[in-house]
Amino acid sequence: MDIARYGEPVSGAAAAFFDLDKTILARSSALAFARPFYKGGLIGRSDVVRSAYAQFIFLASGADHSQMESMRTYMSELVDGWDVAKVREIVAETIDEIIDPVIYEEAVALIDQHHAEGRDVIVISSSGTEVVEPIGDRLGVDIAIGTQMAIEDGRYTGEILFYAYGEGKAEAMRELAAERGYNLGASYAYSDSITDLPMLEIVGHPTAVNPDDELRAIADEREWPILDFERPVSMRTRVNTGQKVAAGAGVAIGAAALGLAWYARRRRA
């Protein structure tokens, strides 16, 4: 199924894979929507406080394995019964306000550089697809992959079909490379967290971005490049200057098309 926005990839072509939180964005994309979800009646005040605390911990030290597993359980229990259309509506209405101020200018430039050099750019994040896909669309990336929740009758069931975390990210990259003809040995990957070591290890050009202490130590030991991003830029400014943000919701449609087949295969397995 064709999901390209910049044309068909050449067989064996390189791609660039980006984590989202603290790599492209200066905060957690999932936790950032706690207040809009509260105002929309999806969560209670205690959930807002808990999300604010989690955001603080995330910014201060990054999320380790146990915190990511706790987030998985919390997310599964929290969204059970949510109306999917309502979630998408809230994200669409607030994405510029919530995400606009926290995108790294250096990440934008790097995405543009990879596109200029003919590579597809893929964002892969543990946040839910309903959050990741609109952000990917704003950034003008080719594919956006997020955590996929099961949906029945327009509502989340609480079941997580695919958790885009750790080895799961690497598995998604392998399947995508097989489907799209990417050469992982010639490809690039960027992340801030030691939990994303699997996605960094399967490409020929791994880079640590704003790395936590554990990832920084490994990057130093293996002589991987280390980048420290700190300058935010407005996504609306990026759109208005006519950079590579095209085709409206193309990235969301593309990722969903990929997901329907891919997640279905995973569930059958």
Are the C-beta atoms of 224 and 206 separated by less than 8 Å? yes
Q: Are 143 and 176 in contact (CB under 8 A)?
A: yes
Of 65, 62, 38, the C-alpha closest to 50 is: 38
At 235 the three-state DSSP class reads helix
Q: What is the CA radius of gyration of the chain?
A: 17
Q: Are 259 and 129 in contact (CB under 8 A)?
A: yes
Residues classed as catalytic: 19, 21
- Give the end-to-end CA distance of the chain in Å, rounded to a whole number: 20
CB under 8 Å to 51, separation ≥6 — which residues? 31, 34
What's the CA angle centered on 4, arms 2 and 6, to 5 degrees? 145
Rounded to the nearest 5 degrees, what angle is found at the Cα of 177, between the Cα atoms of 173 and 179? 115
- The sign of the torsion formed by the CA atoms of 102, 107, 111, 112 equals positive
SS3 at position 90:
helix
Burial category of 230 from C-beta neighbours within 10 Å (exposed 0-12, middle 13-18, buried 19 and up): exposed
